[in-house]
A and B are shown apart, each in its own frame.
Chain A
């Protein structure tokens, strides 16, 4: 038998496995992937050592197929065997090491009884201060909170709840679906979020949206805010106030380029392709969309537009103000009025952080127009 015959068999089995996976037959998909892996490993053994590119591609493919077949230990052993030969191209060695990382995480999750399924959310943060498998704690905490805030708003929108400008989401909303944080396969830095239904459904939850609807709408909203925050987002979120909220929350996820360079959101069921990718440019597009979606405030001739930089030290949206301490020493505390338009879940995570507040100066007063993180 030749490489061609074994590899052809492996291709055919892997395509059948993919079709079974898509049809929701996970057991058959895994079994077919395992058969494909056996054929691919045989194909590798048929290749002479001078066929470097073919050997590398086939070795990675064989290990990946065992991984997709759910046989993590077998995949790991095969990866070690290939790596220990010292005869693979550098690209193949790098990919096998990446696969080993994925395998270790998957194996650990399996031992802990955790399995990633379609609808689980992978969030990866890249570039800047973020290194492979590590990131500043406060950055990750903020992003986790930001993702949770988008999820809660999605549930409120699906339930057609009156728009919430101030305060936290209602306890009933918070208890409908509980986000869990999981360690995900290492990326630049990656974490996973799973939304779980409570074990016991309550009577008052009869109108609760299906979990699948929540996650698919969540993905659609994030995709639209990242790629087409005007037209596509309007089609998914017709309500202007909800659109404003999603834009503000998504902007909190987007990088300024100082601490990190990109945040990507993926569906664990199809992790190859990001659902939404937030880069520095995305923040600018969201800003442009926000300017259009926010209602215009009345102005007078003597108004001056300005930006206040500093640390957000106090917020009292019910009383219509927030306060920023400027960066100079000693700092000046600037009170900014007419802040009731700000959304609690957008502004809340910014307290004690560097912010840029767009204001209108009217005489001695600073009037709020917009706020964003300066991370």
Chain B
């Protein structure tokens, strides 16, 4: 059976995503993927170096949607959140359970379904990044950068770094070892 990256109705499976947030991430992912590909497209999922193929499909954005996501930086970040959270769900069977703010953005905390209801003690932090036009080397470089940032910034929290390369058709998950 073909593995699929499921960007549909993510709010139904991820308690940290509201209907509108999940919809926004899905739209943004569609805008970013449409810059380089036509649906459906096969991408590579890499989980701590183990690679597997997956199919991702989306509705090509209409001009209004493209206009709403005209800010490429915002679109790449939101699209990456959607794809990486869907990738964590597929590869680790984890869901996004909580959102927490940081000085420069927001972190998502992921865990098995049901985690994060009364506290965050068993959750791990998800560090997300998106690469619009770069190739595999750029995605790998970004993964290293995110791992480094995660180690520098929040040392005693277990974390998972996830990077989506839209042009490269590559989604990488990498565990960040505790410092």
Interface residues of A (CB under 8 A from B): 2-4, 7, 11-12, 14-15, 18-19, 22, 36, 40, 47, 51-54, 57-58, 60-61, 64-65, 67-68, 89-91, 94-95, 98-99, 102, 185, 219, 224, 227-228, 232, 267, 269-275, 277, 281
Residues in A neighbouring B129, C-beta threshold 8 A = 273
Whole-angstrom distance between the Cβ of B127 and the nearest chain A Cβ:
10
CA distance A157 to B121 in the complex (A): 53
**B137-162: contact bitstring with A at CB < 8 Å (1 yes, 0 no)?**
01001000100000001111100000
Would you list 17 pairs from A and B whose C-beta atoms are within 8 A, ordered by A residue? Answer: A2-B118, A11-B99, A14-B101, A15-B99, A22-B71, A53-B120, A54-B120, A57-B100, A57-B120, A64-B101, A91-B155, A95-B102, A219-B73, A270-B74, A273-B73, A273-B129, A273-B130
Whole-angstrom distance between the Cβ of A56 and the nearest chain B Cβ:
8
Tell me the interface secondary structure of chain A in the complex.
helix
B24 pairs with A89, CB closer than 8 A: no
Other A-B pairs beyond A15-B21, A94-B155, A272-B102, 20, CB < 8 Å: A3-B119, A4-B118, A14-B106, A19-B21, A22-B74, A51-B121, A53-B121, A54-B119, A60-B100, A60-B101, A61-B100, A67-B103, A89-B156, A90-B155, A98-B103, A228-B135, A228-B138, A271-B104, A272-B105, A273-B130
Q: Among B73, B107, B130, B133, which residue has its beta carbon within 8 angstroms of that of A275? A: B73
Q: Among A4, A15, A227, A277, which residue has its beta carbon within 8 angstroms of that of B18? A: A15
Looking at B18, B103, B119, B155, which has the most chain A CB atoms within 10 Å of its CB? B103
Interface residues of B (CB under 8 A from A): 16, 18, 20-21, 24, 71, 73-74, 77, 98-107, 109, 117-121, 129-131, 133-135, 138, 141, 145, 153-157
Residues in A neighbouring B141, C-beta threshold 8 A = 227, 277, 281
Nearest to A17 among chain B residues (CB) is B101
CA distance A54 to B122 in the complex (A): 9
B103 pairs with A19, CB closer than 8 A: no
Whole-angstrom distance between the Cβ of B168 and the nearest chain A Cβ:
11
Residues in B neighbouring A40, C-beta threshold 8 A = 101
**Contacts A14-B99, A228-B134, A267-B73: A47 and B106 contacting too (C-beta < 8 A)?**
no
CA distance A277 to B142 in the complex (A): 9
Nearest to A75 among chain B residues (CB) is B103
Residues in A neighbouring B106, C-beta threshold 8 A = 14, 18
CA distance A61 to B102 in the complex (A): 6
B74 pairs with A57, CB closer than 8 A: no
Residues in B neighbouring A15, C-beta threshold 8 A = 18, 20-21, 99
CA distance A52 to B117 in the complex (A): 16
Whole-angstrom distance between the Cβ of B71 and the nearest chain A Cβ:
8
Residues in A neighbouring B156, C-beta threshold 8 A = 89-91
Whole-angstrom distance between the Cβ of A273 and the nearest chain B Cβ:
6
CA distance A273 to B156 in the complex (A): 22
Nearest to A96 among chain B residues (CB) is B103
Nearest to B134 among chain A residues (CB) is A227
Residues in A neighbouring B101, C-beta threshold 8 A = 14, 36, 40, 60-61, 64-65, 68
A102 pairs with B103, CB closer than 8 A: yes
Residues in B neighbouring A61, C-beta threshold 8 A = 100-102
CA distance A40 to B157 in the complex (A): 20
Whole-angstrom distance between the Cβ of B104 and the nearest chain A Cβ:
4
Whole-angstrom distance between the Cβ of B131 and the nearest chain A Cβ:
8
Q: Among B74, B99, B154, which residue has its beta carbon within 8 angstroms of that of A91? A: B154
Whole-angstrom distance between the Cβ of B101 and the nearest chain A Cβ:
4
Residues in B neighbouring A22, C-beta threshold 8 A = 71, 74
Residues in A neighbouring B20, C-beta threshold 8 A = 15, 19
Nearest to B155 among chain A residues (CB) is A91
CA distance A22 to B27 in the complex (A): 14
A95 pairs with B153, CB closer than 8 A: yes
A64 pairs with B138, CB closer than 8 A: no
Q: Among A7, A102, A224, A270, which residue has its beta carbon within 8 angstroms of that of B98? A: A7
Whole-angstrom distance between the Cβ of B157 and the nearest chain A Cβ:
6
CA distance A68 to B129 in the complex (A): 21
